[in-house]
């Protein structure tokens, strides 16, 4: 596996791959790999001859009081894991290279990026769409794989690719979970032992909302939200940032629960650890 830190370097490799008629798959990440990341890398391999993984903790998608400085980081550990699943190139630029003095462009998406996590984290999706646009231009992929765990991010990226005519196929990968149901996340490493039960309440809450929807044909959005919140709020460590039932494409709040409705939520544990999760309400995982 090649480890590359410069945009010019990775672009040169990609040009060579393209020149040899090879298809390139990109998996953008912020590192501290877990099985969720590795599943995306394996998925990329199913669609491409060469897999490039970017590892960059993107400062401009973090708010001033968020966890940029404490975000877990260990390049050696991540290189080993990526190599084990057959990644061809690990692209790990530093922030001075990504955002040199004088950098002044922002890619901003209206609508889709403004509610849910975009509402709680002002500027977050501008940071995401800006860095992903750069990563696309630097790595020149044919396909890029993103996780459904960041459901809103995936919708925003699809919009970005449509609006800016990136010739890239976007592939969504289902959420990879611990046996307990907890969605895997690099931020789970912040959880202390006694915070685990609170963290499990996100997937447990979702399961109870799905169960209610299964049992009750005419269930209302309000009832679902109340049931999910009831499970989560039995844990005093939990503050609910949002629980919403939204259309899976537009991300607009649903008036009624339909087969296209998604249950999406964000919860902060002990004011420190913000976790997200989602699921289809009526079918799917």
- Annotated catalytic sites, by residue? 37
The whole-angstrom distance between residue 110's C-alpha and the CA centroid of its chain comes to 19
Q: Which of 171, 183, 191, 202 binds ligand AMP (CB under 6 A)?
A: 183
- Under the criterion CB under 6 A, does residue 130 sit at the interface with ligand AMP? no
Total residue length of the chain: 285
- Under the criterion CB under 6 A, does residue 176 sit at the interface with ligand AMP? yes
Interface with ligand AMP by CB under 6 A: which range of 67-75, 97-105, 144-152, 238-246?
A: 144-152
- Under the criterion CB under 6 A, does residue 173 sit at the interface with ligand AMP? yes
Spell out the long-range contacts of 115-120 with Cβ–Cβ below 8 A and sequence spacing 24 or more: 115/152, 115/244, 115/251, 116/152, 116/242, 116/244, 116/246, 116/251, 116/264, 116/266, 117/152, 117/153, 117/266, 117/276, 118/152, 119/242, 120/241, 120/242, 120/266
Task: Compute the least distance from the CB of residue 231 to ligand AMP, in Å.
Answer: 20
Q: Which of 36, 93, 118, 209 binds ligand AMP (CB under 6 A)?
A: 36
Interface with ligand AMP by CB under 6 A: which range of 29-37, 75-83, 208-216, 264-272?
A: 29-37
- Under the criterion CB under 6 A, does residue 127 sit at the interface with ligand AMP? no
Binding site for ligand AMP (CB under 6 A): 29-30, 36-37, 40, 146-147, 149-150, 173, 175-176, 183-186
């Amino acid at each position: 596996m090649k480890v590359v830190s410069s945009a010019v370097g990775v672009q040169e490799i990609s040009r060579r791959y393209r020149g040899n008629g090879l298809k390139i798959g990109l998996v953008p990440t912020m590192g501290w790999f877990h099985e969720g990341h590795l599943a995306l890398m394996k998925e990329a391999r199913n669609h491409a001859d060469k897999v490039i993984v970017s590892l960059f903790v993107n400062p401009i998608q973090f708010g001033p009081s968020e966890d940029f400085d404490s975000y877990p980081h260990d390049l050696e550990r991540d290189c080993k894991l990526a190599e084990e699943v057959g990644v061809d190139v690990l692209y790990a630029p530093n922030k001075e290279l990504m955002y040199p003095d004088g950098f002044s462009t922002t890619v901003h998406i209206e609508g889709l990026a403004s509610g849910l996590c975009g509402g709680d984290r002002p500027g977050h999706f501008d940071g995401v769409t800006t860095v992903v646009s750069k990563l696309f231009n630097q790595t020149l992929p044919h396909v890029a794989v993103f996780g459904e765990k960041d459901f809103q991010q995936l919708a925003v990226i699809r919009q970005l690719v449509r609006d800016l005519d990136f010739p890239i196929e976007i592939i969504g990968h289902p959420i990879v979970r611990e046996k307990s149901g907890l969605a895997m996340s690099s931020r789970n490493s912040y959880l202390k032992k006694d915070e685990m039960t609170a963290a499990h309440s996100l997937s447990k809450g979702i399961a109870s909302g799905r169960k209610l929807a299964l049992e009750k044909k005419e269930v209302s959005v309000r009832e679902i939200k109340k049931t999910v919140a009831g499970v989560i709020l039995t844990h005093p460590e939990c503050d609910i940032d949002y629980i919403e039932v939204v259309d899976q494409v537009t991300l607009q709040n649903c008036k009624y629960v339909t087969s296209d409705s998604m249950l999406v939520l964000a919860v902060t544990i002990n004011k420190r650890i913000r976790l997200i999760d989602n699921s289809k309400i009526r079918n799917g995982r």
